[in-house]
Every structure is written in C-alpha cells, then in structure tokens.
Structure 1
Amino acid sequence: MSRPLKLSRRTILRGAGVAMGLPMLECMADDQAAETPPSRFGMFYFGTGMNMRQFEPEDEGPDFKLSRILQPLERHRGQFTVLSNVFLNHGGGHDGAYPFATSIARGEKQQISPDQIVAQQHGKATRYPSLQLSVERGTAFGSQALATTSWNEQGIPLAAENDPKVLFDRLFRPDSEQQKVNRAHEFRQRGSVLDLVMEQAGGMQKRMSQVDRQQLDQYFNSVREMERQLDRDVAWSDRPKPDPDLKDPKRFEKSITDKQPDFRYDTYAKLMYDLIALAFQTDSSRVVSYVVRRELSGGVYPEFGVSKGYHSLSHHGNDPRNLEELAKVDTIYMKHWAYFLDRLRSIREGDGTLLDHTVLGFSSGMGIGHSKNRLPTVLSGGERLGVRHRGHVRLSTPTPLSSLWQTMVHCCGVPTGDAFQDSPGVIDDLV
C-alpha cells in the first residue's frame, strides 16, 4: 500500500519552461500546522464619513443590536468590534485623508504610516512589502481628495492602484520571456544610474551649507529606499508568481475603473476585495491600504438609485430624503465589507481562518456633518492575533484614531515604542 502523499506549502510544479505554485491542499495540512501563519494588516478609508445617526448602535456589549447600516455584518457577529467616541484631531474636513493614518494635518511634514511600520517587519518575506489600493490611481498629493493613505519613512505618499486587472497581472500573471529580458536590462540600467547619482551627490555634499546637507541627506534616504526596492525586485525576479487557482480567471482580464461607461461598482468592489484576499492567501503581501471612497468626488453610482453624489448628500441639511439616501449608500458599502469578511473567513489557515490571522480597521476623516469627533470606526478579524472582540464599545474617554492603528500594529507583533502619534496607548478593551 502506498503511503499518503505529503507536500510542502511551497511546492512548485515545473515543466517545459513553466513554474506554478499550488493552492492549499489537504496533503499540506501537516506542513501548514508546523508553520505559524503570518500576521496580515489592512487599513481602509471611507471618505466623507457616514450617516452616524444610522451607523452608531444604541446599546453596547457583544449582544448589541446592529444599526441599519451595520446590519449586513450580522453574520460576522463576534468577529468585529464597533468603536464609538473616536476622533481625529485634524479631521472634520475634506482633507481628512492626510491625517487619517498619521494624525498629521495637510501641509505639514508627514511621517511613516502604520501600514508601512508593519511592512518594514512583515514585508521582508513577501514579493510586495505592501499594496496601496484606491478608487483613484496615484496619490493626488496636494489636492484635498488624497488618493492614498500610505506614507513612507520620509513622509512621501505612496501611489495607489485602482485597476483590478493591473493588480491581478502584477500579483499573478507570469512574465513572458521577453518581459524577463527587458526587466533584467532595466535592473542593470537602474543600478548604474543609482551608483552615478550617489557618487555625484556625495561629492557636492562637502561644499554645501548645513541646511542643504540636511536636504541632501533626505534625498539620500529616498535613494536608499529605491536601492532596497531594486534589490527586492532582483531577488524576486526569478521566482514564479503564485497560481491563485481561480474558478473564473476571466474576471480579471479586462480593465475596470469608474471612468468607463459600463462600470458597475458592485462588480468592481468585489474584484478589489477578492484581490486583497488572494494577495493575503498566497502570501504575495501581508499589508494593504485601500481608499474605498475618496473625498468630494464619486462615492455613489447609478445602480445605487440615489438622487445626488455622496458629498452633496453629506450636506444633508437635516432633510429626511438626504439622510435616507445617505444611509442607503452606506449600507451598500457595508454589504461589500461583509462580502470581504466572507472571503477571508472561507479560507482555512493554520488553527483558524485567514480572517483570524488578519487585522482590519476602517474609519474616515469625518463622521456626519463634517464632525471630527464621531468617526465610523470598526475593527475586524485578528482573533488569532490576540484581538478580543466586544461587539460595540463606547470608549469611556474620547480616543484618537491613532489608538486603533497602534492596537492593530501591536497585534501584528510590531513594537510601537513609548510614543505612537497622538495615541495614549493601545485600546485595552480590544486585546
């Protein structure tokens, strides 16, 4: 009698110039159990707040009654916590995406965002240290409606991607032989350019004032970061991308952005959440930030069946119709969030599910009526990372949003030091 087959999680099938990763199989169970699943971190921004009158629950505790907007999350009760009494010191305006992750106002020198703090530790083992997603490509830096909430060590915004096809190709589409040749040439060219830049800049530094030297030192830091990314690109260039084992890979063969006439948000939202789940599942990345809804523009789509844009609805003037449509739109977004949690919970991993090993936080730069003191804030997942869900927690004192980020970073096993933004510490009720 033949012995049962046992495979490593990292088994690669090779043949005729093709290399493919495998999905999780039962014969990998022992291998999986021997490894501690990695921690994952997700930070999500819902621009322009929400209708807090129909978002915030009235009662507290694990058995709280879900509000209208949160009702789609009922099937995930026990795997998320709603936090009330959360504020953002520089929030309340349409430039709230700037301080969202760092507590630093627009126009001031930014600092590293919590997702990048986690990426510094957990991103070393993955092809992509972090992924930045958004409904708008790029950064939109300088405008009110920032398209990213991720900032590197130098306080520079990290550009986001908005097209599911581009993301899928980057994560999973194998490179052609010509692409490999072109990439190898680009690596060599970029490397030589960086060497030249560093040599020239180093020679100029000796003749500069102290202020200029400080400027140049900041520039050096950016160059070093480029070098680190170059080294990572080279190291990963010959490793095959994972096979996500999709039932319908054609879903990702067409570019989808809200600039297209046949755009449907329901399709788009599910594709984006599916890609995050796949990136986590295949360990392509362990850190994600996602601007789900930008400030000022967009936020509603024809299939929503509402009369105005989200920004216009947020200036409700206590009009019942505006408030009703605002709650309707927010509920649609929560249905998609519930879909995302479904996906993560359906994937078995280690002693639990992918959701259990992933900590996710969403909030906004404002609440309702452009308030900075009543933010729609939810923590999801992370049970195997030490998160203790409490249903609805009305914090006893006003608590900065940075305390949520510090709590999530802490649950990912990353030290935060004595001071973390304007946070007084982790939220003890959650750990």
Structure 2
Amino acid sequence: MTSLHSFRLSRRAFLRGAGVAMGLPYLEAMMPSNVMAAPMPSAPARMGTFYFGTGMNMRQFTPDDEGPAFKASRILKPLEPLRGHFTVLSNTYLAEGGGHDGAYPFATAVAKGEKQRISPDQVAAQAIGADTRFGSLQLSVDRGTNYGSQALATISWNDQGVPLAAENDPKLLFDRLFRPDTDEQKSREKGEFRRRNSILDLVLDDARQLQSQLGATDRQQLDQYFTSVRELETQLQRRIDWADRPKPEPQPTRPKDYTTARPGPEGNGDYLYDEYAKLMYDLIALAFQTDSTRVVSYVVRKELSGGVYPEFNVSKGYHALTHHGNDPQNLEELARVDAIYMTHWAYFLKRLQSIQEGDGTLLDRTVLGLSSGMGFEHSKDNLPTIVSGGGGLGIAHQGHLRLAEATPLSSVWQTMLDRVGAPVAGEFQDSKGLIQPLLS
C-alpha cells in the first residue's frame, strides 16, 4: 500500500491554506516506513471526565445482577449496543459529596470552601498533553467557573487549586479547534462566521494533494473525518443563518419553575438540548481524533439549576424532581430524563467507536469516566458511575461491577490515570488504590 511503503507523514502534520492549519486524524501513513525495523506506534491515549449534577434515579439506574451479562436497567438500556465497552460501578462514594456542593469535591475529594488540589484531568494533561495544541479542554453547559456558587460550571482545578474556566458555545469551540487565532485573523473574522469560507474549502488544495499520496485505508479515514467536519460546519452555519430571523413569541404552557434556558452561547437558548448535546460530543470526538487535545472535562449537567429542557416534556426542573417524595410521577419523570442523558452518552460512545485508529477505534484508545457529586436523594453513597472505552489501554470491562461499600470515587480517577500513562506515585486523594478487576 502506498501509505505503508512509499509515503511518510508526520504525526504532527497539518493541512494548510489561507492562514488555516487543520489537524489530521491518525493515519497509516504516520507509521514507520520499516515496520520490521521499528515498533509500530500506538495511537495516543485520551481521557475524559464527565459530571452529571444532582445525581440520578438510582432505583432505575443500578442493575439487579452483576457481571458482563447483567440485565440493563431502564436508564442504562440506551447503552445496550455498547456492551463490552463500558462498566457500571456500584458503591462508589464521595466522602465530601452529597447535598448541593458535590461538584467541588467531585474530582478532588476536597469540600467546598477548602483549598482545592489538582484535578485528575490536569494530572493527565501534565503527563500526556504536552504534545497537543490544547493540554486540556474544559467544557460545560455554562461558561466560566461559577466559583463560589453551588452551580459550579467546571470540574477542573490546576495544581494551585484554581478552577479552570469552561466553554459552553459549540461555535466558539469549533473556532478554537480549527480557526486561526492570530490578531489579524481575529480582528477580521470576529463575529463574522457567515462570511467565512468552510475550513475544508480553505485547505482543499492541500487535502487533494495529500489524498493522492495515500493508500485506500487512509483515504477512507480522511473522507470520514472531512465528512464529520463538514456536518458540524453545516449545523453551526445553519444557526448563524437563522440568528437574525425573529422567533415566534412562545406560548406559556409550563409552570414558571420549569422554564430554564437551553444551552447555548451565554445561556440564551440557541439550541434544543438534543442538538446541543450531540454537537458538544461531536466536537470532543473531533478534538480527540485530530489530537488537538488528549484530555477533556465536561460538566454535562450542573448542580441544582437546570438539567431539564422543554422538549423533555416533564412537569418540573431536575432538582425538583429529585425531591420526589416517592411520588410515582416524579420518579417516572426523573428516570425518563436520566435515560435521555444516557441516550446522548451512547451517541458519543458510538461516535468514538465509528472512528478507526490504528488497529482499533478511537473508543479503544480513550477512557471516559462519568459520575456525579451525589447519588439518590442527595446521598454521597452509591454514585451513578460508569467507566467507558479504553479497551486498547488495558481496561477490562465487567458489565456491572459491584465494588466494596464506600469505594472512593478517587479510585476510579486513579485507575483511569494509570491506564492513560499518568500513574500517580504514592497516595492519590482518598483512593484505596486501583480498581483491579478493571485492569487487563
């Protein structure tokens, strides 16, 4: 094949055109020319931590049985097609969690109001992020940090214990990944998305030249990548095209305490949540695929505020639902909302699984941990915790794994760090050590 025998490509290669430098996915042409003389390099390891504020309906989250063949609970059913690529962990515990301040100790085990320590994503960034444009990306449904409030917008803390601001706007994230950021370009392009040419159009000549030198497998990989970028550009452009058109006046149909701003720039409700969630997960996939970053944190649902959207068709906000009082409707609606979030999580995992990389997939080379600062009824016990991906990094998925009572959530982070090549020497937070059943 051409890509294996005659044409070599640097792992740090870019497509260039009109001031744009567009990263490339992992290709066979990036492998050594003589695979017999040199070891075939592995695709890089990636790590993601995801926060789902205010817990979940654990009565319909936790499976009744254990092992790889466990029967999926209602909330976990969207993940059925991905068996073998995730593990549900019961009995994870956050000593300083529970209540409404769980986002603070989530990644550090340090309570709100105390001096924070470095979060696991930043430990990973120091170990595996040096060779990427962004050492890490902090994402959220809200911009900034909201430090001091219960609705913390970030779960990332640097080694000085300072919270790292998160971004919530898909358009700005896309520009950070693909648009030039020189002063000249920023001045010319600020606020002018509709006037910009497609990133793909700007690098078209370079792309055509590259494709002519690649083998069939790499051409297919590059086509898939370009298609993903084009689809994202189209969705974001559509939002811009409609931005100046007046919207119809909404008819009040729901109680005031239900109405919440949908995610979007500055929380102005630019997106239905289904569209927003998929855009954000697609952007994370592209950031990993292009090796723009290897570390991501994402506040998928903030503590206390928000969490449900009009299209969810439930009677009240997420936090109000968690104070269910054993009311069947509250419990039903809570489970329905949680299942919607798991549907989007399944979308994300399938997206990563669809991207071939080396002798596996992007999901194989990425380990992802999701959980919350509370479990059910604001408890700090039995958090809704799932580890996904990482099969190529030595994660041995167990389906449903029931851990010892009160296993610190930090043990999950320590295990993930170990698998991505950022092992922690000595003690790590309040961890009791690596979760051995997850290690292959």
Global fold match (TM > 0.5): yes
Match of 1:318 among 326, 329, 340: 326
Q: Which secondary structure state, in structure 2, belongs to the residue aligned with residue 371 of structure 1?
A: coil
Relative to structure 1, the CA distance from residue 261 to residue 418 in structure 2 (aligned partners, 3 Å threshold; closer, same or farther) is closer
- In the TM superposition, residue 21 of structure 1 has moved relative to its aligned partner by 4.5
- Aligned mates of 2:22, 2:338 — CA distance in 1: 40
Name the CA distance, whole Å, in 2 between partners of 1:23 and 1:395: 37
Compared with structure 1, are the counterparts of its residues 403 and 15 closer, same or farther at alpha carbon in structure 2 (3 Å cutoff)?
closer
| Alpha-carbon distance between aligned partners in 2 of 1:157 and 1:329, rounded to the nearest angstrom | 29
Q: Structure 2: which 5+ residue stretches go unaligned?
A: 189-205, 207-221, 241-263
Q: Residue 167 of structure 1 corresponds to which residue in structure 2?
A: 173
Q: Percent identity?
A: 66
Give the secondary structure class of the aligned counterpart of 1:398: strand
- The yes-or-no answer on 1:309 pairing with 2:317 is yes
Q: Quote the Cα distance in structure 2 between the aligned partners of 1:24 and 1:82.
A: 30
Counterpart mapping for 1:196-275 below 5 A? 245=226, 246-248=229-231, 249-253=233-237, 254=239, 256-257=264-265, 259-275=267-283
2 CA distance for matches of 1:258 and 1:179?
23
Given candidates 135, 138, 145, the residue that maps to 2:141 is: 135
Q: Which residue is equivalent to 2:358?
A: 350
Tell me the TM-score normalised to structure 1 length.
0.81
Please report how far the alpha carbon of residue 397 of structure 1 lies from its aligned counterpart in structure 2 after TM superposition.
3.2
Counterpart AA for 2:234: K
CA distance in 1, matches of 2:167, 2:78: 27
Which structure features the higher share of helix residues?
1
CA–CA separation in structure 1 for the residues paired with 2:22 and 2:369: 33
Asked if the contact 1:92–1:370 (Cα under 8 Å) also holds between the matched residues in 2, the reply is yes
1:393 matched to which residue of 2? 401
Aligned to 2:392: 384
Q: How does 1:67-216 map to 2 (within 5 A)?
A: 67-175=73-181, 178-179=184-185
Question: What one-letter code is carried by the residue in structure 2 that aligns with 1:337?
Answer: W
- 2:293 is the alignment partner of 1:285: yes
Equivalent residues of 1:407, 1:427 under 8 A apart? yes
Give 1:37 deviation, angstroms.
1.1
> Matches of 1:165 and 1:180 in 2, distance apart?
14
Secondary structure at 1:125 match in 2: coil
Structure 1 unaligned regions, length at least 5: 183-239
Residue equivalent to 1:223: none
Question: Structure 1's 326 and 258: CA in aligned 2 closer, same or farther, altered over 3 A?
Answer: farther
Q: How far apart are residue 24 of structure 1 and its match?
A: 5.2
Cα separation, 2, equivalents of 1:28 and 1:343 = 23
Distance in 1 between the 2:19 and 2:303 partners?
A: 47
Contact 1:257–1:263 (8 Å) recurs in 2: no
CA contact (8 A) 2:28 2:358 kept: no
CA pair 15-366 structure 1, distance change in 2 beyond 3 A:
closer
Q: State how many pairs are aligned.
A: 371
Deviation per residue, 1:358-415 (Å, 9 max, x gap) = 0000000111111111100000000111111000011133201000000001111112
Backbone CA RMSD of aligned residues: 2.4
Given residue 71 of structure 2, which amino acid in structure 1 is its aligned partner? Answer: K
Structure 1 residues 156, 247: CA separation in 2 closer, same or farther (over 3 Å shift)? same
Q: Deviations over 1:37-80 (max 9, x none)?
A: 11101000000000000000000000000000000000000000
Alignment partners' CA distance in 2, 1:382 and 1:94: 31
Indicate which of 289, 295, 305 corresponds to 1:297. Answer: 305
Aligned to 1:35: 41
- Name the amino acid aligned to 1:416: V
Asked whether 1:6 is paired with 2:11, we answer no
